[in-house]
Amino acid sequence: MTPLKYLQGYPASLQEQVRQMIAGERLGDYLAQRYQGRHGIQSDKALYVYVMALKQEHLKNAPAIDKVLFDNRLDLTHRALGLHTSISRVQGGKLKAKKEIRVASLFREAAPQFLQMIVVHELAHLKESDHNKAFYKLCEYMLPDYQQLEFDLRLYLTWRDLQAGTPQ
Residue 107 counted as domain residue: yes
Whether the CB-CB separation of 47 and 103 falls below 8 Å is answered with yes
The CA-based angle 107-37-139, given to 5 degrees, is: 50
20-60 confidence digits (pLDDT tens):
999 999 999 999 999 988 999 999 999 999 999 999 999 99
3-state secondary structure of 133: helix
Residue 114: beta bridge partners? none
Residue 141 counted as domain residue: yes
Residue 82 counted as domain residue: no
Query: What whole-number distance in Å separates Cα of residue 98 and Cα of residue 31?
Result: 37
Residue 99: beta bridge partners? 86
Q: What is the CATH number of the domain that holds 55?
A: 3.30.2010
pTM for the whole thing?
Answer: 0.86
What pLDDT does residue 16 have?
95
Residue 29 counted as domain residue: yes
114-143 confidence digits (pLDDT tens):
999 999 999 999 999 899 999 999 999 999
User: Residue 167: CB partners within 8 Å, gap ≥ 6?
Assistant: 2, 161
Q: DSSP labels for 41-53?
A: --SHHHHHHHHHH
Q: What type of residue is 91?
A: Q
Query: What whole-number distance in Å separates Cα of residue 82 and Cα of residue 63?
Result: 18
Residue 81 counted as domain residue: no
Of 6 and 89, more confident: 6
Query: What whole-number distance in Å separates Cα of residue 35 and Cα of residue 152?
Result: 9
Domain tally for the chain? 1
Q: 102 lies in which domain range?
A: 12-75+96-161
What pLDDT does residue 77 have?
46
What pLDDT does residue 97 have?
74
Residue 109 counted as domain residue: yes
73-100 confidence digits (pLDDT tens):
866 544 556 666 666 667 677 777 788 8
Residue 41 counted as domain residue: yes
Q: What long-range pairs does 44-50 form, CB within 8 A, spacing at least 24?
A: 44/68, 44/69, 44/70, 47/103, 50/115, 50/119
Residue 108 counted as domain residue: yes
